[in-house]
Amino acid sequence: MLYIGVDLGTSAVKLLLMDEKGEIKKIVSREYPLYFPKPGWSEQNPEDWYNGFADGVKELMAGQDAFAVDGISFSGQMHGLVLLDEQDQVIRPAILWNDGRTQDECDYLNQEIGREKISAWTANMALTGFTAPKILWVRRNEPENFSRIAKIMLPKDYLAYRLSGVHCTDMSDASGMLLLDVEHRTWSQEMIGLCGIRRDQLAKLYESYQPVGTLQPEIAKQLGLPDTVKVVAGGGDQAVAAVGTGTVGHGMCNISLGTSGVVFVASRDFAQAPDNALHAFAHADGRYHYMGVTLAAAASNKWWMDEIIRTKNYPEEQKGITELGANHVYYLPYLMGERSPHNDPEARGTFIGMTMDTTREEMTQAVLEGVAFSLRDSFETVKKMGVSVTRSRINGGGAKSPLWCRIMANVLNIRIDKINSEEGPAFGAAILAAVGCGKYASVEEACAKLIKVVQTTEPDPYLVEKYNDRYAVYRSIYPAVKDLFPKMK
């Protein structure tokens, strides 16, 4: 049998075709526009998502046996607001995760209602990217549109609805709406009331691996697929990417070194992070996960290489870095503010410790180490929550650097594993489709059979001790300079 994994991203939709042994048969993608109608706003037309998906399916299935397709599932950009009216027509363009118009609404939730209350109801604090503040914004600024709302959906769930006719969402993606009681995996009645909406305006909740229905006959005909194909709920992009790396169960970890850096730790139990230092979300495997985010991870290295020292030869720049654990230069990777653990949008990138003999290589090394230290902040919070992590999988563009992987292993004092697949979200979605179709008994079983470690970087006890000392210094820098950041405007 064949399974289709769909990764609905911000700039493009990627479709992956996988067989039941986990072999990737084909990958295609379709781009679509992103609109910025005002400074700080970010929107898309949901119809563009569907059209890109439908066109991509035709290329994906060219030369393949369409009747072998058993199921389809999704990974999706999180937090976006899709509004449908009584006729299931889109009311306004979708407001995306990277839209920043809702600062006033977040201040209202965190300060007037109270961060402690919001966290008690949803396990998280309000951030501008989340969905609930967007609903409040529409209520305040577009009352006519607000009055027409029949269903509130997330981006990938709009695709699932178009395919199946079912208004659905899953626990992992819903966790990022600030509307879900994450611990009890149900909608928060308190947040529903606060937003001025009704429970029936929200989609039905499923686990990520559960089927929600099958393809509607007219859609199946359009796509050239049988109408027996199961539509499986899918999940938010980080949770499904974690499935694609086998980061499921308890204590499993994945580090994503993409534009942003993500520490993702799977847990069988629910716990709320102290001071909202981490996101506490439901996981796509039916349990929970904690997620820390460094907003400028590989982006910090790209900025340093491309804009400052002006080179595209990243490996060549790292060749001269030979002495780890001894650099006297420190770097705070806060080029875009910072998420975890500080939740400080005014934080800024900072170099400190340079002297007349500081070299280009030491500055480059400081960037790589600064990102690793920032991710360690999230690891330290995970430890406080009682979850032991002894090794982590790693992916993303930054993971291609053996030096950066070595730094990570020693800063975090864990084994760093590379696996046999780099497709992350789309591959994870295909795995969820296979589980939803009954090919595997659980997400954990599927990951154990389909995903293998191919390379491991071990920590060096000598370097671990060196980096422990340097991390102690790193941790003292932000508290010392944070009051300066608001003045730097």
Catalytic residue list contains 104: no
- What is the domain partition of the chain in residue ranges? 2-239, 246-420+459-487
Question: How would residue 115 be classed by pLDDT, with cut points 50, 70 and 90?
Answer: very high
Match domain 246-420+459-487 to its CATH number in 3.30.420.40, 3.90.1300.10, 2.120.10.30, 1.10.490.10.
3.30.420.40
pLDDT at position 113 over 90? yes
Read off the DSSP letter of residue 152: E
Q: How far apart are CA 365 and CA 174, in angstroms?
A: 39
Question: Looking at 99, 173, 181, 237, which residue is catalytic?
Answer: 237
Question: How would residue 44 be classed by pLDDT, with cut points 50, 70 and 90?
Answer: very high
246 Ramachandran zone, left/alpha/beta (phi>0; psi -120 to 50): left
Question: How would residue 153 be classed by pLDDT, with cut points 50, 70 and 90?
Answer: very high
pLDDT digits (tens, 9 = 90+) for 163-220: 999 999 999 999 999 999 999 999 999 999 999 999 999 999 999 999 999 999 999 9
Domain covering 2-239 assigned CATH 3.30.420.40 in the classification: yes
The pTM of the full predicted model, rounded to 2 decimals, is: 0.90
Instruction: Return the bridge partners of 6, or none.
Output: 15, 74
Question: How would residue 489 be classed by pLDDT, with cut points 50, 70 and 90?
Answer: confident
Per-residue pLDDT at 92: 98
Q: What percent of the chain has pLDDT over 70?
A: 100
2-239 and 246-420+459-487 share one CATH topology? yes
Q: Is residue 157 within 8 Å of residue 166, measured between CB atoms? A: no
∠ at Cα 485 (480, 489), nearest 5°?
Answer: 160
Mean residue pLDDT across the chain:
95
Question: How would residue 388 be classed by pLDDT, with cut points 50, 70 and 90?
Answer: confident
Question: DSSP string of 291-337?
Answer: EEEESSSHHHHHIIIIIIS--S-HHHHHHT---TT----EEE--BTB
Mean pLDDT along residues 377-400: 90
From the number of C-beta atoms within 10 Å of its C-beta (0-12, 13-18, 19+), residue 364 rates as: buried
Per-residue pLDDT at 253: 94
Annotated binding-site residue numbers for substrate: 78-79
Per-residue pLDDT at 205: 98
pLDDT at position 33 over 90? yes
Residue predicted with more confidence, 23 or 276 = 23
Q: Is residue 212 within 8 Å of residue 359, measured between CB atoms? A: no
pLDDT at position 386 over 90? no
Per-residue pLDDT at 162: 98
